[in-house]
């Protein structure tokens, strides 16, 4: 070790303004910055004596190893991330005060793609929706657009989410999932018909993350400087095009490389082949909300009859330097909104506004927004304080508001929009469920081969359901499209007249 060689400035040293001058940049140190003399041999009492408790380097090394795991995400545990930027191409100032939508303006982003059901390190070849979550580090604070590759979701009310995830995940008595429990649950959930159709189609096994579109699924609200709001859906379209694996190819890849989606993204970015997505918005005026035959605030629906407008392009151009610190510690939350973007009344989204920030307080701790990957690029000036692992740099005596000593201006454009309300509290289904129409349209949009793959895959899975659940499920798909239902009934060895009788009782 030399006293004259350059020293290393760590993030902590920077924060507290302290530099260590005694350690060479390449020297191995303990967590307190002190140099390690020997990393290969523990300190022992003589040649044959026991290891000594005073070997603080050994103790720390084992202690830190023992604590390497944090709780993994309860869903979407397997993911891969990348840095990039979003450049706006349209002026949306009539719709939203969110300043990122200014033509030419560039906003740094971090994207995390993921699968849903299985744990970290599970095969990326497994059939699943894929997460497509983007953190925009905007000049107005961080905005997280936490979406999926499918434009619809299985359910429309957050109260069903834990049950649905339990049904998808391995059974508690076996530690592997079964079609029996999966379809036992979904035979009570007709609103899942479109999303299940997409899941068991070849869209359930995307070829790469680069060849995948994305969607907010939910409607959000754009709010302008006058406090007026409009409903908005966001859709990402891959400039690489969309590519899925058919069942044969999915099986082939599974046997060859089950990290194929992470590997593809990391390899492409390292090679300078940066993937790009265009962002589109669809807008519905509040006064038009009731004019549709479906409820536009129902997360099981797309808006097929609302035009799309391109508002910008995102490029991913840098891989994380450390997967744990960036991809794993990133905390994407629908609650991270900015002035001009608010949640709609979508019942599923409303539950998500709570659930993500809540799980992140458990998974990463109360101060997770202080982690470098989650830190806004703008100054944070809240009165939230203390808590475990606080690495903030708060100073001063005023930690409350209002104060005459340190007044905090509160811009009018940042106030929440106002929603007129009437009626009483209730626990009722939404109006206009329309559970099957868009499922039939999706089925009919598939090519002959895609239809055949879907019927073979889904029919095969339904064959593993209990008799009663199987026939209810088949009736949902029959109601969506008679040919689709007949095809599935044949493969699943169901009774067509029973399926037809059940379908006749279903509402459109």
Contacts to ligand HEM from residues 280-299, by CB under 6 A: 299
Site string for ligand HEM, 123-162 (x = CB under 6 A): --------x-x------------xxx----x----x--x-
Tokens of 434: 């329309």
Residue labelled with tokens 């009782």: 505
* Residue 110 near ligand HEM by CB under 6 A: no
3-class SS letters over 199-248: HHCHHHCECCCCCCCEECCCCEEEECCCCCEEEEEEEEEECCCCCECCHH
Contacts to ligand HEM from residues 348-407, by CB under 6 A: 348, 351-352, 355-356, 359-360, 363
Helix, strand, coil share of the chain (percent; to 5):
30, 15, 50
Q: Which is nearer to ligand HEM, 43 or 375 (CB)?
A: 375
Among the listed ranges 345-353, 395-403, 417-425, 446-454, the one in contact with ligand HEM (CB under 6 A) is 345-353
**To the nearest whole angstrom, how small is the minimum distance from the Cβ of residue 214 to ligand HEM?**
9
* Residue 338 near ligand HEM by CB under 6 A: no
The site for ligand HEM, by CB under 6 A, has a size of: 28
**To the nearest whole angstrom, how small is the minimum distance from the Cβ of residue 432 to ligand HEM?**
19
Tokens of 117: 């059901």
Q: Which is nearer to ligand HEM, 208 or 475 (CB)?
A: 208
Residue nearest to ligand HEM (CB): 131
Give phi and psi for 214, each to the nearest 5.
-140, 165
Exactly one of 76, 118, 218, 245 is catalytic; name it: 76
**To the nearest whole angstrom, how small is the minimum distance from the Cβ of residue 322 to ligand HEM?**
16
- The SS3 assignment for 225 reads coil
Among the listed ranges 69-77, 290-298, 301-309, 417-425, the one in contact with ligand HEM (CB under 6 A) is 69-77
Among the listed ranges 43-51, 67-75, 182-190, 300-308, the one in contact with ligand HEM (CB under 6 A) is 67-75
Exactly one of 142, 148, 202, 336 is catalytic; name it: 148
Q: Contact at 8 Å (CB) between 434 and 148?
A: no
Sign of CA dihedral 79, 262, 300, 136: positive
Q: Contacting ligand HEM (CB under 6 A), which of 23, 57, 73, 469? A: 73
148 is catalytic: yes
- Single out the residue of 95, 83, 18 nearest to residue 314, CA to CA: 83
**To the nearest whole angstrom, how small is the minimum distance from the Cβ of residue 217 to ligand HEM?**
4
* Packing angle, helices 448-462 and 482-491, rounded to 10: 50
**To the nearest whole angstrom, how small is the minimum distance from the Cβ of residue 347 to ligand HEM?**
8
**To the nearest whole angstrom, how small is the minimum distance from the Cβ of residue 380 to ligand HEM?**
20
Q: Which is nearer to ligand HEM, 125 or 195 (CB)?
A: 195
**To the nearest whole angstrom, how small is the minimum distance from the Cβ of residue 116 to ligand HEM?**
7
Q: How far is CA 485 from CA 197, 247, 449, in A?
A: 11, 20, 16
* Packing angle, helices 482-491 and 496-504, rounded to 10: 140
**To the nearest whole angstrom, how small is the minimum distance from the Cβ of residue 459 to ligand HEM?**
27
- Single out the residue of 270, 271, 319, 276 nearest to residue 112, CA to CA: 319
* Residue 75 near ligand HEM by CB under 6 A: yes
Q: Contacting ligand HEM (CB under 6 A), which of 80, 107, 114, 142? A: 114
Cα(300)–Cα(233) distance, integer angstroms: 13
- Length reported for the chain: 508
Q: Contact at 8 Å (CB) between 189 and 154?
A: yes
- Single out the residue of 435, 443, 440 nearest to residue 480, CA to CA: 440
Site string for ligand HEM, 202-221 (x = CB under 6 A): ---------------x----
DSSP-derived secondary structure letter, 321: S
Among the listed ranges 29-37, 102-110, 327-335, 375-383, the one in contact with ligand HEM (CB under 6 A) is 327-335
- Single out the residue of 132, 130, 263, 152 nearest to residue 202, CA to CA: 130
DSSP-derived secondary structure letter, 210: T
When computed from its CA atoms, the radius of gyration of the chain, rounded to whole angstroms, is: 26
Cα(431)–Cα(442) distance, integer angstroms: 22
Q: Contacting ligand HEM (CB under 6 A), which of 23, 57, 76, 443? A: 76
76 is catalytic: yes
Site string for ligand HEM, 14-53 (x = CB under 6 A): ----------------------------------------
Q: How far is CA 483 from CA 231, 476, 477, in A?
A: 35, 12, 9
Q: Which H or E run includes 277?
A: strand 276-284
Cα(368)–Cα(360) distance, integer angstroms: 7
Among the listed ranges 57-65, 71-79, 240-248, 425-433, the one in contact with ligand HEM (CB under 6 A) is 71-79
**Chain residues that interact with ligand HEM, rule: CB under 6 A:** 73-76, 79, 112, 114, 131, 133, 146-148, 153, 158, 161, 217, 299, 330-332, 348, 351-352, 355-356, 359-360, 363
Q: Which residues are catalytic?
A: 76, 148
């Amino acid at each position: 070790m030399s006293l004259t060689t350059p020293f290393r400035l760590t993030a902590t040293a920077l924060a507290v303004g302290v530099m260590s001058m005694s350690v060479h940049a390449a020297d191995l140190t303990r967590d307190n910055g002190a140099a390690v003399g020997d990393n290969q041999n523990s300190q022992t009492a003589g040649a044959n004596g026991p290891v000594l408790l005073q070997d603080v380097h050994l103790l720390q090394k084992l202690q830190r190893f023992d604590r390497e795991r944090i709780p993994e995400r309860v869903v979407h545990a397997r993911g891969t991330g990348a840095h990039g930027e979003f450049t706006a191409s349209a002026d949306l100032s009539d719709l939203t005060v969110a300043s990122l939508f200014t033509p030419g303006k560039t906003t740094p982003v971090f994207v995390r793609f993921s699968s849903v059901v299985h744990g970290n390190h599970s095969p990326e070849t497994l059939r699943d929706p894929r997460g497509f979550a983007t953190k925009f580090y905007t000049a107005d604070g961080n905005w997280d657009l936490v979406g999926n590759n499918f434009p619809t979701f299985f359910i429309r009310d957050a109260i069903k989410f834990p049950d649905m995830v339990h049904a998808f995940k391995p059974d508690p008595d076996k530690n592997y999932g079964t079609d029996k429990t999966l379809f036992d649950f979904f035979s009570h959930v007709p609103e899942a018909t479109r999303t299940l159709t997409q899941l068991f189609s070849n869209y359930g096994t995307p070829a790469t993350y680069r060849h995948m579109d994305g969607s907010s699924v939910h409607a959000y609200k754009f709010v302008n400087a006058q406090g007026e709001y409009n409903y908005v859906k966001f859709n990402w379209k891959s400039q690489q095009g969309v590519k899925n694996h058919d069942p044969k190819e999915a099986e082939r890849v599974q046997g060859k490389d089950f990290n194929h989606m992470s590997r593809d993204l990391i390899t492409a970015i390292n090679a300078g082949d940066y993937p790009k997505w265009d962002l589109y918005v669809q807008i519905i005026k509040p006064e038009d909300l009731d004019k549709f035959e479906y409820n536009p605030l129902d997360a099981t629906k797309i808006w097929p009859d609302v035009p799309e407008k391109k508002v910008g392009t995102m490029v991913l151009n840098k891989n994380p330097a450390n997967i744990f610190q960036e991809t794993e510690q990133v905390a994407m939350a629908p609650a991270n909104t900015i002035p001009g973007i608010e949640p709609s009344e979508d019942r599923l989204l409303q539950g998500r506004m709570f659930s993500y920030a809540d799980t992140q307080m458990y998974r990463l701790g109360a101060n997770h927004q202080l982690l470098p990957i989650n830190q806004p690029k703008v100054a944070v000036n809240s009165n939230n304080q203390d808590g475990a692992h606080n690495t903030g740099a708060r100073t001063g005596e005023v930690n409350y508001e209002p104060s005459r000593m340190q007044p905090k201006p509160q811009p009018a454009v940042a106030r929440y929009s106002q929603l007129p309300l009437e009626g009483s509290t209730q626990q009722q289904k939404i109006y206009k469920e329309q559970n099957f129409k868009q499922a039939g349209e999706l089925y009919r949009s598939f090519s002959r081969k895609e239809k055949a793959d879907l019927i073979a895959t889904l029919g095969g899975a339904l064959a593993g359901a209990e008799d009663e659940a199987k026939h209810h499920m088949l009736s949902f798909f029959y109601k969506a499209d008679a040919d689709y239902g007949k095809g599935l009934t044949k493969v699943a060895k169901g009774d067509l007249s029973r399926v037809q009788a059940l379908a006749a009782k279903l509402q459109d």
